A and B are shown apart, each in its own frame.
Chain A
Amino acid sequence: LQLRLTPGDLAFREEVREFLRSNLPDDLARRARYDYHPRRDDIVRWTRALAERGWSVPHWPVAYGGADWTPLQRFIFEDEMRAGYAPIGDRIATELVAPVLYTFGSETMRARYLPAIRNADTIWAQGFSEPGAGSDLSSLRTRAVRDGDHYVVSGQKTWTTEGHHADMIFTLVRTDTDVKPQRGISALLIDLTAPGVTRRPIWTIDEGLTVNEVFFDDVCVPVENLVGEEGAGWAYAKFLLTNERATSAEVPHTKRDIAQVRAIAAIERKNGRPLIEDRSFRERLAAIEVDTVALEYAVLRVLTAENEDNPVASLLKVRGSELRQRVADLACEALGEAGLIVCPNPEGEHVMREEASSGAVPDHGIGIAAKAMFRRATTIYGGANEIQRSLIAKTILGL
């Protein structure tokens, strides 16, 4: 057992910190602290800064422009990125789509899309859910009919994260209706600017724009955009979702949120004293911290396990997503009544409704209410927690 970071790990962490100190612009850090959904230009600026250092996709194999980092290095890196308020990059592209492309995609596909992801020239969305296919994803109905060297795609995707500012979408489509539902699904890369694609924003309860509806109306997609084999899309999606669950614990972000709660509670007051000195408040924060310490070590156990597609990842997702909600709620509570005031992103790209109330929320409270509202989604996306629990019972416990 080696239960602590080694001197080598610590030196690496210091290297990442130093990079952040010298390269992260103040305006990017400020907006990351507000923690609204990231703007496209922030994603692009930061990804390119990282790319110059060779760190925009460090977990990829070297052959595709990555650094072949170990999962632990990547965890330390993410931990420092969150702690240092770096913008969150295009994770759909770098963490979900790209591994599918370099594992299952053609050589042409890799050459065409991977460098653009590495440099944030292309931003990606993921088109899985449909109005009639949520947890029961295999019932999806968006059709792709082969017509010569094209597929003609028609149907609708929904809850499409980043759909509003993405260039490309990784979709699951039905290419065969005569076989078992899972066998008739293929993975297709679709240009969101192609004729026949319509995007419509879905404003969520945080009054923010993260997810979208995407309509496909006889969209022509070249056959070379088929990932791997026709009918194998379900297997690729499972591969992709496994990668998603491994990072879905979001421990680095929760650690930063805990620090934010502390900062807010040092400013806010109760009974004439800083809120952080209130015993009941402190203990509820401590309970979240204790759960986070445990979750962090659980993540490390999964990351360093020999078997990488560990079903234990489901377990991390459940606990991690619940913690994200708890910490956001505690931050909002710490803010008191100011936690109830609508506060649109002061530097946002997309604002649902202009308000005259700006300035009513103190700087340390910007983004807090919106975050608490949006976090209800964490236990739904990436496989609802109820689905995860069933998966845990079946695959780990054999029930």
Chain B
Amino acid sequence: VDFTLSSEQAALRESVERFIERDYGWEQRHAVISSTDGLSSAHWGMFAELGWLGAGLAEEVGGFGGGAVENAILLESFGRGLVVEPMVAHIVAANVLARSNAARAAELLREMIMGERRVVLAHGEGMRDSLTATQTRFAGQRISGRTTMVEGAGGGDMLIVSAIGDDGVLALYLVDPASPGVSVRRYRTIDNHRAADIVFDAASPVCALTFDGDAGAVLSVALDQGIVALCAEAVGSMEAALMMTRDYLQTRKQFGVAIGSFQALQHRMADMLIDTEMARSILYHALGAMEDDTATRRSAVAAAKALIGPAGVRVAAGAIQLHGGIGMSEEYAVGHFYKRLYAIERLWGDSALHLESFATRADVRL
């Protein structure tokens, strides 16, 4: 067991941190979240140039030979910087395409890695009951149904849509969002990310995505890759919220002393640090299980999401509380960490769903 980053991984982290520092200041971020699409094409181009869009993909599929760990490094820093560009959605879609044997998939994936095209997964309706279930149907070569909270769908060039066929089996299809029968209703979420509800009314797919194995299994792997990346983002946001609160407690004076000298505040901070360190620890556990058999991987990812979701909300809520009034200001970052962590708790299955799926599975240990 070794928790230190390799030199390549450390270099990746450094390059992301540099980007956040140089290109993702408060004003720069404000410009992004105020824009129509809620993302910056310039940033996306930079992500491609820096190799981040393929950092978590194997070389055989045109990636740079990394995996879930590289994605986690990327997203952890994104979490610190409150980056809103839809990187998790990119990771999920790329992981679906990377496992497809369709020629079109390989081509799309190459374009994604180059930053020339954005593809997102349109799957799920609330994800309250299950991660992989869908009500969307594929019949007579047409797709009908609806899907909600599709991150990045607004600017996406291509959708991967899950649908159940006449045989009752889930399959994945490429659908052009501009094609007839597809209607997209976009919205902004509390964390300033962009998502959409999409209705398919007898839409014609471009093609079916084929796999050597089962499409449901591929979907599950891709979702887990996304969830673990999201967990890494949460850890980054938790650490940043904690540290900015620490700095504030050291400088803010009341009753003639720094408020960090008060024991009630110190103990709350200690609990927030414990939550953060436990979150990081279970993230490592999940990352270590990504190449394991399905049951082990699922269980480890569910455990991570079940722990990190509520822990993130607790830490960020504590960060607001300890800041006092200023923590409520929209012009101040701490509230934005809260909103992002609040959203992460819910996205890709809330902690109730993940705890339930962990509870129904076998033990996972080292």
Contact = CB atoms under 8 A, between A and B. Distances in A.
User: Do A and B belong to a common assembly?
Assistant: yes
Interface string B299-341: 0100100110000000000000000000000000000000000
A35 to B, nearest CB: 20
Given A283-B356, A286-B359, A295-B281, A393 B267 contact: yes
Interface string A383-399: 00010111011101111
B13 to A, nearest CB: 12
Contacts of A390: 263, 266-267, 270
A294 B246 contact: no
B271 A298 contact: no
Interface in B347-366: 355-356, 358-360, 363-366
Contact of A315 (B2, B69, B273): B273
Contacts of A4: 1, 288-289, 366
The bracket for how many chain B residues form the interface is: 35 or more
A3 B355 CA distance: 23
Interface in B206-260: 246, 249-250, 260
Contacts of A297: 281-282, 284-285
The bracket for how many chain A residues form the interface is: 35 or more
Given A2-B2, A4-B366, A290 B270 contact: no
Main secondary structure on chain B at its contact with chain A? helix
A287 B2 CA distance: 27
Nearest to A276: B359
A378 to B, nearest CB: 16
Main secondary structure on chain A at its contact with chain B? helix
B274 A1 contact: no
B270 A397 contact: yes
Contacts of A1: 2-6, 9, 69, 284, 287
B365 A289 contact: no
B303 A3 contact: no
Nearest to A10: B366
B261 interface: yes
A399 B277 contact: no
A333 interface: no
Nearest to B311: A294
B355 A286 contact: yes
Given A293-B364, A301-B281, A318 B266 contact: no
Contact of B358 (A2, A289, A301, A389): A289
A393 B273 CA distance: 9
Contacts, number: 137
A255 interface: yes
B274 A304 contact: no
A285 interface: yes
Nearest to B267: A389
A196 B214 CA distance: 78
B269 interface: yes
B278 A304 contact: no
A9 B9 CA distance: 25
A294 B281 contact: yes
A17 interface: no
B267 A294 contact: no
B279 interface: yes
Contact of A287 (B1, B249, B281, B355): B355
Nearest to B310: A287
Contact of A296 (B263, B270, B280, B366): B366
A297 B364 CA distance: 12
B255 to A, nearest CB: 15
B273 A397 contact: yes
Nearest to A312: B277
Contacts of B263: 390
Nearest to A392: B270
A2 B278 contact: no
Contacts of A283: 355-356, 359
A323 B1 CA distance: 24
A30 interface: no
A298 B277 contact: yes
A319 interface: yes
Contacts of B303: 289-290, 293-294
Contacts of B281: 294-298, 300-301
Nearest to A259: B363
Nearest to A318: B274
Question: By CB atoms of chain B within 10 A, which of A386, A388, A394, A397 has the most?
Answer: A397
A283 B352 CA distance: 9
Interface of A: 1-6, 9, 72, 255, 279, 282-283, 285-287, 289-291, 293-298, 300-301, 304-305, 312, 315, 318-319, 386, 388-390, 392-394, 396-399
Interface of B: 1-6, 9, 69, 246, 249-250, 260-261, 263, 265-267, 269-271, 273-274, 277-282, 284-285, 287-289, 300, 303, 306-307, 355-356, 358-360, 363-366
7 contacts: A4-B289, A283-B355, A290-B306, A312-B277, A319-B274, A386-B267, A396-B273
**Top 4 nearest A-B pairs by Cβ distance?**
A3-B288, A393-B266, A286-B359, A297-B281
